[in-house]
Protein backbone atom coordinates (compact mmCIF):
# COMPACT_ATOMS: atom_id res chain seq x y z
CA UNK A 1 0.00 0.00 0.00
CA UNK A 2 1.66 3.16 -1.18
CA UNK A 3 -0.51 5.81 0.46
CA UNK A 4 0.24 7.02 3.97
CA UNK A 5 -3.13 6.44 5.64
CA UNK A 6 -2.63 3.77 8.27
CA UNK A 7 -4.65 0.63 7.54
CA UNK A 8 -7.76 -0.15 9.57
CA UNK A 9 -6.68 -1.90 12.81
CA UNK A 10 -8.33 -5.13 11.65
CA UNK A 11 -6.31 -5.04 8.40
CA UNK A 12 -3.14 -4.30 10.37
CA UNK A 13 -3.70 -7.32 12.63
CA UNK A 14 -4.70 -9.53 9.70
CA UNK A 15 -1.52 -8.54 7.85
CA UNK A 16 0.58 -9.34 10.89
CA UNK A 17 -1.00 -12.81 11.06
CA UNK A 18 -0.72 -13.54 7.32
CA UNK A 19 3.01 -12.74 7.50
CA UNK A 20 3.44 -15.74 9.82
CA UNK A 21 3.91 -18.87 7.68
CA UNK A 22 1.76 -21.06 9.92
CA UNK A 23 1.49 -24.10 7.68
CA UNK A 24 -0.41 -26.77 9.58
CA UNK A 25 0.34 -27.74 12.34
CA UNK A 26 2.71 -24.79 12.79
CA UNK A 27 1.44 -21.72 14.60
CA UNK A 28 4.50 -19.61 13.70
CA UNK A 29 3.91 -17.14 16.53
CA UNK A 30 0.31 -16.19 15.68
CA UNK A 31 -1.03 -17.22 19.08
CA UNK A 32 1.62 -15.13 20.79
CA UNK A 33 0.34 -12.03 18.97
CA UNK A 34 -3.25 -12.90 19.91
CA UNK A 35 -2.37 -13.73 23.55
CA UNK A 36 -0.60 -10.39 23.93
CA UNK A 37 -3.70 -8.51 22.75
CA UNK A 38 -6.02 -10.55 25.00
CA UNK A 39 -3.68 -10.25 27.97
CA UNK A 40 -3.90 -6.45 27.66
CA UNK A 41 -7.70 -6.78 27.85
CA UNK A 42 -7.54 -8.68 31.14
CA UNK A 43 -7.91 -12.19 29.74
CA UNK A 44 -6.12 -15.03 31.49
CA UNK A 45 -4.22 -16.76 28.69
CA UNK A 46 -3.19 -20.36 28.89
CA UNK A 47 -1.03 -22.15 26.37
CA UNK A 48 -2.17 -25.79 26.01
CA UNK A 49 0.25 -27.54 23.62
CA UNK A 50 -0.24 -31.18 22.64
CA UNK A 51 2.54 -32.78 20.59
CA UNK A 52 3.65 -30.22 18.01
CA UNK A 53 0.28 -28.43 18.10
CA UNK A 54 -0.16 -25.05 19.79
CA UNK A 55 -3.46 -24.23 21.45
CA UNK A 56 -4.53 -21.11 23.28
CA UNK A 57 -7.31 -20.91 25.83
CA UNK A 58 -8.06 -17.41 27.10
CA UNK A 59 -10.80 -16.31 29.43
CA UNK A 60 -12.08 -13.09 30.95
CA UNK A 61 -14.43 -13.36 33.92
CA UNK A 62 -14.99 -16.19 36.36
CA UNK A 63 -18.73 -16.66 36.72
CA UNK A 64 -21.85 -16.80 34.59
CA UNK A 65 -22.26 -18.22 31.10
CA UNK A 66 -19.22 -18.48 28.82
CA UNK A 67 -19.30 -17.03 25.29
CA UNK A 68 -16.34 -18.40 23.36
CA UNK A 69 -14.85 -17.30 20.04
CA UNK A 70 -13.03 -20.19 18.43
CA UNK A 71 -10.76 -20.61 15.45
CA UNK A 72 -7.43 -21.76 14.06
CA UNK A 73 -4.15 -20.14 13.09
CA UNK A 74 -2.87 -22.88 10.78
CA UNK A 75 -3.23 -22.67 7.01
CA UNK A 76 -3.01 -25.20 4.19
CA UNK A 77 0.32 -25.27 2.32
CA UNK A 78 0.63 -22.65 -0.44
CA UNK A 79 1.52 -25.27 -3.07
CA UNK A 80 3.75 -24.21 -5.96
CA UNK A 81 4.77 -20.62 -5.13
CA UNK A 82 5.48 -19.94 -8.81
CA UNK A 83 1.75 -20.22 -9.38
CA UNK A 84 1.14 -17.27 -7.06
CA UNK A 85 1.11 -13.70 -8.36
CA UNK A 86 2.53 -12.51 -5.04
CA UNK A 87 4.34 -14.02 -2.04
CA UNK A 88 1.76 -16.18 -0.18
CA UNK A 89 3.09 -14.93 3.16
CA UNK A 90 3.33 -11.25 2.23
CA UNK A 91 -0.19 -9.81 2.46
CA UNK A 92 -1.13 -7.69 -0.51
CA UNK A 93 -4.34 -5.74 -1.09
CA UNK A 94 -5.41 -5.67 -4.71
CA UNK A 95 -8.78 -4.38 -5.93
CA UNK A 96 -10.12 -4.33 -2.39
CA UNK A 97 -9.20 -7.95 -1.65
CA UNK A 98 -6.36 -9.24 0.46
CA UNK A 99 -4.11 -11.88 -1.09
CA UNK A 100 -2.02 -14.12 1.18
CA UNK A 101 -2.40 -17.70 2.39
CA UNK A 102 -4.96 -17.90 5.18
CA UNK A 103 -6.45 -14.43 4.57
CA UNK A 104 -9.92 -15.92 4.21
CA UNK A 105 -9.54 -19.18 6.14
CA UNK A 106 -9.32 -17.89 8.72
CA UNK A 107 -6.93 -15.17 9.80
CA UNK A 108 -9.45 -12.46 8.88
CA UNK A 109 -11.89 -14.19 11.24
CA UNK A 110 -9.27 -14.15 14.00
CA UNK A 111 -8.52 -10.46 13.46
CA UNK A 112 -12.24 -9.63 13.48
CA UNK A 113 -12.82 -11.58 16.71
CA UNK A 114 -9.92 -9.88 18.51
CA UNK A 115 -10.97 -6.41 17.35
CA UNK A 116 -14.58 -7.09 18.39
CA UNK A 117 -13.43 -8.23 21.84
CA UNK A 118 -11.25 -5.12 22.23
CA UNK A 119 -14.15 -2.84 21.32
CA UNK A 120 -16.59 -4.74 23.52
CA UNK A 121 -14.33 -4.78 26.59
CA UNK A 122 -13.53 -1.07 26.14
CA UNK A 123 -17.25 -0.31 26.22
CA UNK A 124 -18.21 -2.90 28.88
CA UNK A 125 -15.34 -3.31 31.33
CA UNK A 126 -17.60 -4.98 33.90
CA UNK A 127 -19.62 -7.17 31.58
CA UNK A 128 -21.66 -10.05 32.92
CA UNK A 129 -20.59 -13.63 32.32
CA UNK A 130 -17.33 -14.71 30.71
CA UNK A 131 -15.65 -14.15 27.40
CA UNK A 132 -13.34 -16.85 26.09
CA UNK A 133 -11.13 -17.54 23.09
CA UNK A 134 -10.04 -20.99 21.92
CA UNK A 135 -7.45 -21.08 19.14
CA UNK A 136 -5.64 -24.10 17.71
CA UNK A 137 -2.97 -24.70 15.07
CA UNK A 138 -4.40 -28.12 14.20
CA UNK A 139 -7.52 -27.62 12.10
CA UNK A 140 -6.26 -28.08 8.55
CA UNK A 141 -4.31 -31.24 9.39
CA UNK A 142 -5.16 -34.26 11.50
CA UNK A 143 -7.20 -32.19 13.95
CA UNK A 144 -6.53 -34.56 16.82
CA UNK A 145 -4.35 -32.47 19.13
CA UNK A 146 -6.27 -29.25 18.82
CA UNK A 147 -9.76 -28.17 19.88
CA UNK A 148 -10.72 -31.76 20.73
CA UNK A 149 -7.91 -32.12 23.32
CA UNK A 150 -8.52 -28.67 24.78
CA UNK A 151 -12.23 -29.41 25.25
CA UNK A 152 -11.36 -32.73 26.93
CA UNK A 153 -8.97 -30.93 29.30
CA UNK A 154 -11.51 -28.18 30.06
CA UNK A 155 -14.27 -30.73 30.68
CA UNK A 156 -11.98 -32.69 33.01
CA UNK A 157 -11.56 -29.60 35.17
CA UNK A 158 -15.27 -28.78 34.96
CA UNK A 159 -14.92 -25.77 32.71
CA UNK A 160 -17.67 -25.47 30.11
CA UNK A 161 -18.58 -23.32 27.12
CA UNK A 162 -22.20 -22.19 26.86
CA UNK A 163 -22.10 -20.45 23.46
CA UNK A 164 -19.44 -20.76 20.81
CA UNK A 165 -18.95 -18.69 17.67
CA UNK A 166 -16.48 -19.88 15.02
CA UNK A 167 -14.91 -17.25 12.81
CA UNK A 168 -14.66 -19.61 9.82
CA UNK A 169 -15.61 -18.06 6.49
CA UNK A 170 -19.19 -18.99 5.62
CA UNK A 171 -20.53 -15.92 3.83
CA UNK A 172 -21.17 -16.27 0.10
CA UNK A 173 -21.20 -12.77 -1.41
CA UNK A 174 -21.47 -10.30 1.44
CA UNK A 175 -20.55 -10.60 5.10
CA UNK A 176 -23.28 -12.31 7.09
CA UNK A 177 -25.38 -13.45 4.12
CA UNK A 178 -24.93 -17.00 5.34
CA UNK A 179 -24.60 -18.04 8.98
CA UNK A 180 -23.84 -21.72 9.39
CA UNK A 181 -25.52 -23.36 12.35
CA UNK A 182 -24.44 -26.94 11.79
CA UNK A 183 -22.29 -29.35 9.83
CA UNK A 184 -22.80 -32.65 8.04
CA UNK A 185 -21.27 -35.77 9.51
CA UNK A 186 -18.36 -37.49 7.76
CA UNK A 187 -17.92 -41.25 7.91
CA UNK A 188 -15.35 -43.20 5.87
CA UNK A 189 -15.30 -46.93 5.16
CA UNK A 190 -12.15 -48.88 4.28
CA UNK A 191 -13.25 -52.11 2.66
CA UNK A 192 -11.37 -55.24 1.60
CA UNK A 193 -13.21 -57.89 -0.42
CA UNK A 194 -11.61 -61.32 -0.26
CA UNK A 195 -11.65 -63.72 -3.18
CA UNK A 196 -9.58 -66.51 -4.67
CA UNK A 197 -7.10 -65.79 -7.41
CA UNK A 198 -7.40 -67.86 -10.55
CA UNK A 199 -6.91 -68.19 -14.29
CA UNK A 200 -9.40 -66.18 -16.31
CA UNK A 201 -10.10 -69.30 -18.40
CA UNK A 202 -11.29 -71.27 -15.35
CA UNK A 203 -13.55 -68.91 -13.36
CA UNK A 204 -15.24 -71.87 -11.72
CA UNK A 205 -11.99 -72.49 -9.81
CA UNK A 206 -11.59 -68.86 -8.72
CA UNK A 207 -13.63 -66.30 -6.80
CA UNK A 208 -13.38 -62.85 -8.34
CA UNK A 209 -13.74 -60.08 -5.72
CA UNK A 210 -14.52 -57.50 -8.42
CA UNK A 211 -17.58 -59.48 -9.49
CA UNK A 212 -18.59 -59.91 -5.84
CA UNK A 213 -18.35 -56.20 -5.11
CA UNK A 214 -19.96 -54.83 -8.29
CA UNK A 215 -23.62 -55.44 -7.27
CA UNK A 216 -22.97 -54.17 -3.73
CA UNK A 217 -21.48 -50.97 -5.14
CA UNK A 218 -24.41 -50.57 -7.52
CA UNK A 219 -26.84 -50.91 -4.63
CA UNK A 220 -24.95 -48.47 -2.39
CA UNK A 221 -25.01 -46.00 -5.27
CA UNK A 222 -28.72 -46.26 -5.96
CA UNK A 223 -29.99 -46.10 -2.39
CA UNK A 224 -31.72 -42.85 -1.55
CA UNK A 225 -30.22 -42.46 1.90
CA UNK A 226 -32.55 -39.62 2.83
CA UNK A 227 -34.05 -36.51 1.27
CA UNK A 228 -32.17 -34.18 3.56
CA UNK A 229 -34.18 -31.96 5.88
CA UNK A 230 -34.81 -28.32 6.60
CA UNK A 231 -31.15 -27.72 7.38
CA UNK A 232 -29.19 -30.35 5.45
CA UNK A 233 -28.90 -31.55 1.85
CA UNK A 234 -29.47 -35.29 1.21
CA UNK A 235 -26.87 -37.69 2.56
CA UNK A 236 -24.33 -38.62 -0.09
CA UNK A 237 -22.31 -41.80 -0.66
CA UNK A 238 -19.09 -41.45 -2.68
CA UNK A 239 -16.37 -43.93 -3.55
CA UNK A 240 -13.02 -42.19 -3.39
CA UNK A 241 -10.66 -45.03 -4.25
CA UNK A 242 -10.91 -48.54 -5.64
CA UNK A 243 -8.26 -50.95 -6.77
CA UNK A 244 -7.80 -54.56 -7.58
CA UNK A 245 -5.95 -56.68 -10.12
CA UNK A 246 -3.27 -59.35 -10.20
CA UNK A 247 -1.14 -57.52 -12.76
CA UNK A 248 -1.76 -60.02 -15.53
CA UNK A 249 -4.45 -60.01 -18.24
CA UNK A 250 -5.11 -63.70 -17.63
CA UNK A 251 -5.40 -63.73 -13.85
CA UNK A 252 -8.38 -62.71 -11.74
CA UNK A 253 -7.39 -61.04 -8.45
CA UNK A 254 -7.57 -62.35 -4.89
CA UNK A 255 -8.50 -59.02 -3.29
CA UNK A 256 -10.22 -55.76 -3.91
CA UNK A 257 -9.78 -52.73 -1.70
CA UNK A 258 -11.80 -49.59 -1.74
CA UNK A 259 -12.52 -46.53 0.32
CA UNK A 260 -15.77 -44.62 0.46
CA UNK A 261 -17.24 -41.73 2.37
CA UNK A 262 -20.62 -40.61 3.60
CA UNK A 263 -21.43 -36.93 4.15
CA UNK A 264 -24.56 -37.35 6.17
CA UNK A 265 -27.37 -35.30 7.57
CA UNK A 266 -28.89 -35.38 11.04
CA UNK A 267 -31.32 -38.04 9.74
CA UNK A 268 -28.55 -40.52 10.60
CA UNK A 269 -26.04 -41.21 13.32
CA UNK A 270 -22.83 -43.05 12.47
CA UNK A 271 -24.29 -46.16 14.17
CA UNK A 272 -27.50 -46.24 12.13
CA UNK A 273 -25.58 -45.55 8.93
CA UNK A 274 -23.09 -48.36 9.61
CA UNK A 275 -25.95 -50.69 10.42
CA UNK A 276 -27.70 -49.89 7.12
CA UNK A 277 -24.47 -50.53 5.18
CA UNK A 278 -24.00 -53.85 7.00
CA UNK A 279 -27.53 -54.82 5.93
CA UNK A 280 -26.65 -54.15 2.32
CA UNK A 281 -23.55 -56.34 2.58
CA UNK A 282 -25.48 -59.06 4.41
CA UNK A 283 -27.94 -59.31 1.51
CA UNK A 284 -25.09 -60.23 -0.86
CA UNK A 285 -22.82 -63.25 -0.98
CA UNK A 286 -19.53 -61.54 -0.22
CA UNK A 287 -16.51 -62.13 2.04
CA UNK A 288 -15.27 -58.80 3.30
CA UNK A 289 -13.61 -56.80 6.06
CA UNK A 290 -14.82 -53.30 6.72
CA UNK A 291 -13.14 -50.72 8.95
CA UNK A 292 -14.69 -47.36 9.70
CA UNK A 293 -13.30 -43.94 10.45
CA UNK A 294 -15.61 -41.33 11.88
CA UNK A 295 -14.39 -37.78 11.29
CA UNK A 296 -17.38 -36.20 12.97
CA UNK A 297 -21.06 -36.62 13.69
CA UNK A 298 -23.44 -34.07 12.18
CA UNK A 299 -24.49 -31.32 14.49
CA UNK A 300 -27.05 -28.60 14.50
CA UNK A 301 -27.29 -25.68 16.88
CA UNK A 302 -30.75 -25.64 18.41
CA UNK A 303 -32.83 -22.52 17.95
CA UNK A 304 -32.27 -20.15 20.84
CA UNK A 305 -30.37 -17.17 22.17
CA UNK A 306 -27.15 -17.70 20.23
CA UNK A 307 -28.80 -17.93 16.80
CA UNK A 308 -31.13 -15.02 17.60
CA UNK A 309 -28.26 -12.84 18.79
CA UNK A 310 -26.16 -13.70 15.72
CA UNK A 311 -28.98 -12.90 13.30
CA UNK A 312 -29.64 -9.65 15.14
CA UNK A 313 -25.96 -8.67 15.01
CA UNK A 314 -25.83 -9.29 11.26
CA UNK A 315 -28.84 -7.07 10.59
CA UNK A 316 -28.00 -4.43 13.20
CA UNK A 317 -24.42 -3.92 12.07
CA UNK A 318 -24.52 -4.05 8.29
CA UNK A 319 -21.18 -4.05 6.51
CA UNK A 320 -20.26 -0.86 4.77
Q: By the criterion CB under 5 A, which residues form the site for Zn ion?
A: 105-106, 168
Q: What angle do CA 194, 197, 202 make, to 5 degrees?
A: 130
Least distance CB 299 / Zn ion (angstroms): 16
Longest Cα separation, the chain: 83
Sign of CA dihedral 199, 204, 207, 208: positive
Return the number of the residue (106 or 110) whose C-beta is nearest Zn ion: 106
Residue 116 in contact with residue 175, Cβ under 8 Å? no
Least distance CB 168 / Zn ion (angstroms): 5
Q: By beta-carbon distance, which residue lies closest to Zn ion?
A: 105
Instruction: Give how far the C-alpha of residue 280 lies from the chain's centroid of Cα atoms, to the nearest Å.
Output: 30
Return the number of the residue (69 or 268) whose C-beta is nearest Zn ion: 69
Q: In terms of Cα–Cα distance, which of 39, 182, 116, 85 is closest to 317?
A: 116
Q: CA-CA distance, 39 to 224, in Å (whole number)?
A: 52
- Please give the positions annotated as active site: 74, 139
Q: CA-CA distance, 140 to 78, in Å (whole number)?
A: 13
Least distance CB 141 / Zn ion (angstroms): 11
Return the number of the residue (102 or 209) whose C-beta is nearest Zn ion: 102
Least distance CB 124 / Zn ion (angstroms): 29
Return the number of the residue (71 or 91) whose C-beta is nearest Zn ion: 71
Q: CA-CA distance, 18 to 13, in Å (whole number)?
A: 9
| Burial class of 302 by CB neighbour count within 10 A (0 to 12, 13 to 18, 19+) | exposed
Least distance CB 258 / Zn ion (angstroms): 29
Q: In terms of Cα–Cα distance, which of 33, 260, 208 is closest to 137?
A: 33
β-strand 55-60 against 44-47: which pairing, if any?
Answer: antiparallel
User: Partners of 254 in the beta sheet?
Assistant: none
Return the number of the residue (104 or 300) whose C-beta is nearest Zn ion: 104
Sign of CA dihedral 185, 72, 158, 50: positive
Amino acid sequence: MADDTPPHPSIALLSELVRRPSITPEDAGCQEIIAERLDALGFTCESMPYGNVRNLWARRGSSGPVLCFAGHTDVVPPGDEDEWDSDPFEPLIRDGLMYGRGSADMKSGLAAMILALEQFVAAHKDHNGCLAVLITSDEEGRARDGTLKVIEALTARDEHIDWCVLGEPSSQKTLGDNVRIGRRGSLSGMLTVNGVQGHVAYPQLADNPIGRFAPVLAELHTIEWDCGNEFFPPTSFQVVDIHSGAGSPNVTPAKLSTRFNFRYSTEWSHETLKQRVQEVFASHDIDFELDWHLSGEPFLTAAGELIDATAKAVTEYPTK
